[in-house]
A and B are shown apart, each in its own frame.
Chain A
Amino acid sequence: KTFGQKINLVRNNVTLEAALMEIQKQTGYNFFYSQELLKNAKPFDISVSNSSLKEVLAICFKGQPLTYILNKKTIVVKPADLKNIVQDITITGKVLDHQGLPLEGVSVKLKDANKETVTNQNGDYTISVPDGDAKLVFSFLGFESQEVTVGTQTSININLKTALSALEEVVVIGYGTVKKKDLTGSVSQVKSKEINAMPNANVLQALSGRAAGVQVRQGSGAPGSSSTVRIRGGNSILGSNEPLYVIDGFPVNGSPTQINNTDIESVEVLKDASATAIYGSRGANGVVLITTKKGKAGKTAVSFETSYGTQSLIKKLDLMNAKEYAIFYNEQRTNSNLTPFFSQAEIDGFGEGFDWQDFVFQKAPIRTTALNVNGGNEKTQFSVSGSAFGQNGIVKGSDYDRYSLVTSLNHKISDKFSLSFSSTLSKLSTERKDSGGGNRGNSMISAAVSAPPTLTPFNDDGSYRVLSTAYPFIATDIRNPINFINEQNSKIKANVVLANASINYNITPALQLKIAGGIENRDERTDTYTTTKFFASAGSANIFAGQFTSFLNENTLSYQKEFNKHSLNAVLGFTYQDFLNTGVSAGGTGFLSDNFESYDLGAAANPNVPGSSYIKSVLLSYLGRVNYSYDNKYLATVSLRRDGSSRYSEGSKWGYFPSAALAWRVSNEEFLKGNELISDLKLRTSFGVTGSQAINPYSTLNQLSAGRTIFNDAPYTTFAPGTVLASDLKWETTEQLDFGIDIGLLKNRFLLTADYYIKNTRDLLSNVILPSSLGYTSTIQNVGQIKNTGLELGLESNILKGAFNWDLNANIAFNRNKVIKLSKGDELLRDRVNLVVINDVTSILTEGKPVGTFWGYLEEGYDATGKIIFKDLDGDGTISQNDKTYIGNANPDFIYGLNSTMTFKNFELNLFFQGLQGNDIFNASSITNTLDYGFGLNMTQDVFDNRWTPQNAANAKYPKVSNATAVRVSDRLIEDGSYLRLKNVMLAYNLPKSILKTNWISKLTLYASGQNLFTSTNYSWWDPETNFRIDYHSYPNAKSITFGLRAGF
């Protein structure tokens, strides 16, 4: 019989005798003991697999009044000598840093036991251990932890190495990487853990509140909707103010919503010109670099994550009930010299009525699942992830699903050559509902608020009630939301591929050539179908299919050399990228059956004119950058990019985008070395020029567009210019100056970063309005200048450490935006709302004021008949456009985020707050449901309670209710959009090994979290977060409760 070297034993409440018999069976060792002796032994739990005899015996005899002697293959059990039980070994020693200086406060911990001490000011410590197998763990913030087995030693001295801490970490920058401590520019890093702190549909939402100066606005709570991101304010009037997104070195088109958050290793936000100028004409709005997970040499690691959440509407609007509705509209008719519609008996019969909000909104699930396998050896490393994200919307019938597969591969071909490849394949599908916008209840969201509570969605026979003819005074536009829920759908399907490959050639150890090629391809198709059961519909189908392809070639030469105290790092490159967009659309109306949906357009009685399009642009670039540092104290970066874009006029196609930065690591100077308080100090300054491709391709060409007209009863083709007159255009450029300081205090327990910047954008491309008699309504010109100035503060801190650990990160940013110059001083009136009752512009672009200044009338209470009095600013006795003035500012005073993580033993509590302060919102949604009294729309409870009546004239908040109530774009519609929101609260529990009782799971975390559970705001409508500038019946955000699991194998 052969015996195993290792023991497997899992038993609860086992007697010592039974355990020893089992050990004997497995190992062949013999035990000697008296039954008498074992009576004193306590039963215990044991769970070991593949463990050594010694380990197992240690568990068996732990806390027993017995001990054993091992002699060859025999084990003798004997009573424990009281002195022998505490036969601990006392260990003393000293902990020093890499320079040999003593470290105070280093944690010295006995591994797998609840025993710990810290070093004194001389770095000395004393700790007792049970035996020579004990392991000591030395850990200290900012240093790498070290583990030592005691063995026969009684004195252990340790030199701790500086950890790859915050400052040693590598930060990705454009066309390279740099250690955080060597940064000369302003770069914020957001790590995987923060990005995955809560279920977010995309990385943009996950960035909200995480980096100073980065404002993420979610325009809609609809599943699959993108967010807008502003880094240090907006620079452009005409063009996009979105940053450039670069995934693994590939500058992608638009927002990177195809990437699953669990696949992201880190996100770097480049903010100042020194960091962004290397992206030249695309850097003006900042650059967001996304790095996906890469394989690591070593044991193959598998990680799995899943979560399930339930979302619901954050708040319901308080609306009139059925009885109040009837009273309200009777009063409206009386005030309009019409006979009341509802009889007293009817009014008395109405109660609360029907709740249309409950009808339209639902509780909806959100699910995430991700699996990653990565590993490799010295030659080849790989990482493969698969993930699924599924979100149903809180508006019935809307959803978003994403499946993605991410692969990365690195292979060293020889000492000279290496290959790397990464790819992301994503499949997206969304069902959208016609939910936002609209007027007088003709969109789903608007109808949810506007529909009369006196009516229900269905007639007695089960057919859909037609709201628009239900009452003689009701709006012809209003639609029963059941139409949108059941009879209209819009599906978007997209397959997105991003693939990148590169060959690296080490010409010399210092000089490396990299040739990279990549392709981004997005195929998408939108199918929209309105059934024949939809109100007044004969069936209508539309299809749009589009393909976007971008091809990238980058050729870069990198040089890295250190000699004496000099360190030089340079990159030189040439890149080509093209962008091709093609699309085709078709549709038709009049379907015999709803079976076809949009999948047999040939069945349409009236086919639409099909459309197709082709847009191509090319960007050629030369780039170069030199990083130089002397003695780790003085750092300098100089870069230059020359971009040529096909979009601009002949002679203006090329632009130069230079930058320079200087940094001084003061803490490496002799006078600060060893300073107790200041452990790190760096001063930075940079200046640079970046550009923006604000115009669409072909904007400088006088193109003709095709159209149709009818002769006989047949279509004829027409060709004429559009309404925008082409003109000669050049680059829009932004100059940015930045001053920054990075401070580490108390051995970097507190890391503070502050930046002050001034951004000037000149040659601002803008739509210039032309006299309409010209036949063109506008043209684009390089006019104007905008200035953004701001201050950003970021703090990373470790407030408490030890068994109870508390990390607190906070950021706050102040940005001020101002229009400096516009064409001929023209005031551009913008952001028109078309709500029939108000059909006017809401904001103004004018010199000296920020972009997003609201423009309208001022109110001065009510006259004797309950009409709103508008302030006659020009005093001409009538209210006209000349009485408009500045009534608000959409820009926040500051934006902030606060992230607190507390850990105690196996528990982790995370709180994440995010907020905006001082921004105004133009609440266009409220026009319909607080002021548009002529059309039978439901109103808020506030209107019912505080409307003007002769009895309630003094305290009225709303005018007299009639079918001719006159309203205008006025200050009443401007609301404070400030909010503080608990974006996420999470309690996680890391299951200890003793509970897991298996070796194949290395880590298992269970968590429960809540998103958007608490919001502090004075904003009256659904949600201040989804409404930047204008709230126009937007899809509201949801709150949710999520449960999840993370496991590592």
Chain B
Amino acid sequence: KDLLEEEPKSLAVEVFYKTPQEVESAVNAIYPPIRTQMAEYVATLECHSDFLYGRGSWENISLYQGFNDTNTGRVVPFWNGFYTAIRNANLVIANSPDGAAYDSYKAEAKFLRAFAYFQLVRNWGAVPLRTELNMEQRDLAKSSVDDIYAFIEKDLLTAEMGLKPVATAAGRPTSGSAKTLLADVYLQMAKYPEAAAKANEVIQSNKYSLIQVTSKANIQDNIFGPTVNNSPEEVFYFKFSRLTNEGNYLLFIVNHPSTGLFGFPGAYAVHGNKTNPIFVNWNANDLRKSLYDNINFGLGANTLVTSKFVDKLATTNRTAGNDNTVYRYADVLLIYAEAAARAENNVSPAALEALNKVKRRAYGYNPAVPSVVDYTAADYATTPFLDLIMKERVYEFAFEGKRWLELKRTGKASELVLANKGKTILPKHLLWPIPLGEIDYNDALDPVTDQNPGY
């Protein structure tokens, strides 16, 4: 009988999560399912934006008529990745022992679980809410959007308490990361005072600052460069390295071989257009504008290719060392500026200063010192100020996957996509189709009523 006992040279769920080292490695396992999807996820979101365009098989997204089969399939790995991360987080939360040694691990798991749900709820709306309590239940109905936000808020409040101000390694969340994510969530929930307060806590911690730049090369090397690590601007990044298959795939998606900026030929699948009003109206003195090269690779003379992400030493499509900059300090400043202005219905000096810091840096000035490019309070009422922040955000965060979700959050998607791209958004394009792997095999979902409209 003993002969038939299986003794694999591996570990099993039943005997794991017993020591801090084991729990840490289980926490580490929450990252890869998200990390490996981030490049395509960001690129997909950018194709939706009012500034950038998808080429080839991505073009369908930029037409705003709902997803064709290819792109319906494209978002499936995002869904699967977020939920695999949620499962791995739930395993940590459910199985790790009690005690102080494990609190920060559970906090880290909750931070990442909240991050995953925040992506799910914004792109798919109501989704099944898998927690450590129902993680083994096969058929699970959708939870309402409100319930999901409430759950995210709860996770992040716990994470904020459990996480340390300084992480053991760059790439792990800090209490600052949790506050920033929470501020963004509050902004989304239209809880503006809470959003402003959380963002302000991060600013007041004085742990972060913007990196001063004076050239295009400074931006490429010092902010987004392949070897940048633990920069003062880093609030929460998914980290990549030049190790085989551990690099950032986004560089492959966006680069063009003729630029020589990426050590491997790119697919230039997401690009800009120099006739887009956002680009046309962009001040030439803004160093960020220089990150776009005009290359005609067959899509016409006005095509723009980004040079924001550069790694000449990458040897394959997955060996670029550049990080995925999920939350930079510039984001904290702009979340604060917007949340404060919305909460106070007024442009406070602090809000103005937050916006100005981002703008100054982009024009090559010391972010901490007032400059000639500063906006002044007298010139702006609240609404124009909010427009100004939106403009600053598209310049600052292009190719970082923020614009489309912001357009949806502010309710300006239809207006700005029409204005900047001349395209009309079909309502079904606002939510992604729930994968058939969920609709067909989760018996608590009705294939007709639970699928997102239009699919």
Supposing A719-B26, A771-B441, A774-B130 touch, asked if A703 and B4 sit within 8 A by C-beta, the answer is no
A646 and B244 contact, CB distance less than 8 A: no
How many interface residues does B have (CB within 8 Å)?
79
Proximity string of chain A (641-663) to chain B, C-beta cutoff 8 Å, 1 when within and 0 when not: 00011110000010000000000
A769 to B441, CA, bound (A): 7
Measured CB to CB, the closest approach of chain B to A222, in angstroms, equals 26
Q: Does A950 have its Cβ within 8 Å of any Cβ on chain B?
A: no
Question: What B residues does A538 contact at CB under 8 A?
Answer: 263, 315-316
Residue A618 interfacial (CB < 8 Å): yes
B127 in complex: contacting residue of A476, A653, A773, CB < 8 Å: A773
The answer to the question of A701 belonging to the interface, with a C-beta cut-off of 8 Å to chain B, is yes
CB-contact partner of A698 in B8, B25, B263, under 8 A? B8
Are B438 and A653 in contact, CB atoms less than 8 angstroms apart? no
User: Which residue from chain A places its CB closest to the CB of B315 in the assembled complex?
Assistant: A538
Q: Given the complex of chains A and B, what is the CA–CA distance between A605 and B130 in angstroms?
A: 42
Q: Are B84 and A709 in contact (CB under 8 A)?
A: no
With A476-B267, A772-B79 known as contacts, the answer to whether A704 contacts B244 (CB < 8 A) is: no
Minimum Cβ distance to chain B for residue A783 (Å) = 13
In the complex, A881 has a CB within 8 A of chain B: yes
Q: Given A618-B4, A709-B32, A719-B11 in contact, is the A589-B57 Cβ separation under 8 Å? A: no
Closest to A936 in B: B298
CA distance A380 to B336 in the complex (A): 95
- Residues from chain A with a CB closer than 8 A to the CB of B136 are 774
Q: Find out whether the CB atom of B244 lies under 8 angstroms from the CB atom of A608.
A: yes
Q: A711-B170, A712-B230 are in contact. Are A702 and B13 (CB under 8 A)?
A: yes
Cα separation A123 to B376 with both chains bound (whole Å) = 127
Whether A707 is near chain B, meaning CB under 8 Å from some CB there, is: yes
Contact A774 B70 (CB under 8 A): no
A771-B442, A775-B135 known; A704 vs B13 contact (CB < 8 Å): yes
Interface readout for A691-721 with B: 1 if CB under 8 Å, 0 if not?
0000001101111110111111111111111
> Is B161 engaged at the interface, CB distance under 8 Å to the other chain?
no
The CA of A589 and the CA of B318, in the complex, are separated in Å by 12
Given the contacts A469-B257, A472-B298, A775-B135, A713 and B239 also touching, CB distance less than 8 Å: yes
Within the assembled complex, what's the spacing in Å between the Cα atoms of A528 and B435?
Answer: 37
- What's the nearest-Cβ distance from chain A to residue B61, in Å? 14
Of the listed stretches B85-93, B182-190, B205-213, B417-425, chain A binds: B85-93
A609 CB within 8 Å of chain B:
yes
Residue B150 at the A interface, CB < 8 A?
Answer: no
Identity of the chain A residue whose Cβ is nearest the Cβ of B169 in the assembled complex: A711
Contact of A776 among B87, B245, B265 (CB under 8 A): B87
- The answer to whether A720 and B436 have CB atoms under 8 Å apart is no
Closest CB-CB distance, A443 to chain B, in whole Å?
A: 17
How far does the alpha carbon of A777 sit from the alpha carbon of B138 in the complex, in Å? 11
Docked-complex contact B5 and A713, CB < 8 angstroms = no
Contact A606 B315 (CB under 8 A): yes
User: Of the candidates B26, B70, B264, which one forms a contact with A839 in the assembled complex, judged by CB atoms under 8 Å apart?
Assistant: B70
CB-based contact B10/A775 at 8 Å: no
In the complex formed, the residue of B with least CB distance to A591 is B315
Kindly state whether residue A590 has any CB partner on chain B within 8 Å: yes
Interface residues in A, total, Cβ within 8 A: 70
Interface of B is mostly: loop
Given A774-B87, A774-B138, A769-B241 contact (CB < 8 Å): no
A826 to B436, CA, bound (A): 13
With A476-B265, A709-B31 known as contacts, the answer to whether A703 contacts B73 (CB < 8 A) is: no
Quick one: CB contact mask for B1-22 with A, threshold 8 Å, 1 for yes? 0011111111111101000001
CB contacts (< 8 Å) of A720 on chain B: these are 26, 29-30, 88, 91
Which residue of B30, B230, B257, B441 has the most chain A CB atoms within 10 A of its CB atom? B441
Shortest B226–chain A CB gap in Å is 9
CB-based nearest B residue for A834: B73
**A476, A537, A605, A614 interface centre (most CB from chain B within 10 Å):** A476
Measured in the bound complex, the distance between the Cα atoms of B320 and A1009 in whole Å is 56
Judged by a CB distance under 8 angstroms, whether B357 is at the interface is no
Distance in angstroms from B150 CB to nearest chain A CB is 18
Q: Determine the chain B residues whose CB is within 8 A of the CB of A653 once the complex forms.
A: 4
Residue from B227, B265, B435 having most chain A Cβ neighbours under 10 A: B265
Asked whether B441 lies within 8 Å of A620 as measured between CB atoms, the reply is no
- The answer to the question of A116 belonging to the interface, with a C-beta cut-off of 8 Å to chain B, is no
Q: How far is the CB of A82 from chain B (nearest CB, A)?
A: 89
- A318–B73 Cα distance when bound, in Å, is 34
Which B residues touch A476, using CB under 8 A? 265, 267
In the complex, how many angstroms separate the beta carbon of A780 from the nearest chain B beta carbon?
15
* B130 proximity list for chain A (CB < 8 A): 773-775
A517 at the interface (CB under 8 A from B): no
> A376 near B: Cβ within 8 Å?
no
> Nearest residue in A to B129 (C-beta to C-beta)?
A773
Task: Find chain A residues with CB under 8 A from B321 CB.
Answer: 713
Q: How far is the CB of A535 from chain B (nearest CB, A)?
A: 8
Bound together, the chains give a CA A703 to CA B169 distance in angstroms of 28
Q: What sequence of 0s and 1s flags, for each residue 301-342 of chain A, a beta carbon within 8 Å of any chain B beta carbon?
A: 000000000000000000000000000000000000000000
Q: Report chain A residues within 8 Å CB of B28.
A: 709, 716-719
B242 at interface, CB cutoff 8 A: yes
Q: Which residues of B contact A719 (CB under 8 A)?
A: 11, 16, 22, 25-26, 28-29
A713 to B244, Cβ gap below 8 A?
Answer: no
**Residue in A473, A608, A702, A826 whose Cβ sees the most chain B Cβ within 10 Å:** A702
> A713 near B241 (CB under 8 angstroms)?
yes
Q: Which residues of B contact A710 (CB under 8 A)?
A: 35, 171, 239-241, 243, 246
| B291 CB contacts on chain A under 8 angstroms | none
Q: Which of B57, B87, B437 contacts A769 (CB 8 A)?
A: B437
- B105 at the A interface (CB under 8 A): no
Question: In the complex, are the beta carbons of B73 and A775 less than 8 A apart?
Answer: no
The contact of B140 among A609, A702, A717, A771, by CB within 8 Å, is A771
Q: Is B387 part of the binding interface, using a Cβ–Cβ cutoff of 8 Å? A: no
Restricting to B59-117, which residues have a CB under 8 Å from any CB of A?
Answer: 69-70, 73, 76, 79-80, 83-84, 86-88, 90-91
Say yes or no: is A536 at the interface (Cβ < 8 Å to chain B): yes
Q: Does the CB pair A697–B32 fall under 8 Å?
A: no
- Bound Cα distance A540, B136 (Å): 42
Q: Name A473's contact: one of B227, B265, B267, B298 (CB within 8 Å).
A: B298
For residue A523, CB closer than 8 A to chain B, the reply is no
- CB pair B4–A704 under 8 Å, yes or no, is no
Q: Are A712 and B171 in contact (CB-based, < 8 A)?
A: yes
Contact of B437 among A472, A590, A777, A836 (CB under 8 A): A777
Q: Given the complex, which residues of A lie within 8 Å of B8, measured CB to CB?
A: 614-616, 697-698, 701, 703
Contact A770 B441 (CB under 8 A): yes
Docked-complex contact A772 and B80, CB < 8 angstroms: yes
Q: A709-B35, A720-B88 are in contact. Are A620 and B3 (CB under 8 A)?
A: yes
Complex contacts, B30 vs chain A, CB 8 Å: 720
Structural contact, B128 and A771, CB atoms closer than 8 A:
yes
User: In the assembly, what is the distance between CA of A717 and CA of B169, in Å?
Assistant: 14
Instruction: A698-B10, A715-B241, A774-B138 are known; give 12 further A-B pairs, CB within 8 A.
Output: A576-B3, A587-B244, A609-B244, A646-B5, A711-B170, A713-B242, A715-B246, A771-B438, A773-B438, A774-B136, A775-B135, A839-B73
Q: Which residues of A contact B (CB under 8 A)?
A: 468-469, 472-473, 476, 536-538, 540, 576, 587-590, 605-609, 614-618, 620, 644-647, 653, 697-698, 700-705, 707-721, 723, 769-777, 826, 836, 839-840, 881, 934, 968
A-B contact pairs, 18 of them (CB 8 A): A606-B315, A646-B3, A646-B4, A646-B5, A704-B16, A708-B32, A709-B28, A709-B32, A710-B239, A712-B169, A718-B29, A769-B437, A773-B128, A774-B83, A775-B87, A775-B90, A776-B87, A968-B69
Task: Give the interface of B toward A (CB within 8 A).
Answer: 3-14, 16, 22, 25-26, 28-32, 35, 56-57, 69-70, 73, 76, 79-80, 83-84, 86-88, 90-91, 127-128, 130, 135-136, 138-140, 169-172, 227, 229-230, 239-246, 257, 263-265, 267, 297-298, 315-316, 319, 321, 435-438, 440-442, 445
List the 9 closest A-B pairs by CB distance, nearest first: A775-B87, A472-B298, A720-B29, A771-B442, A711-B169, A718-B29, A711-B171, A538-B315, A702-B13
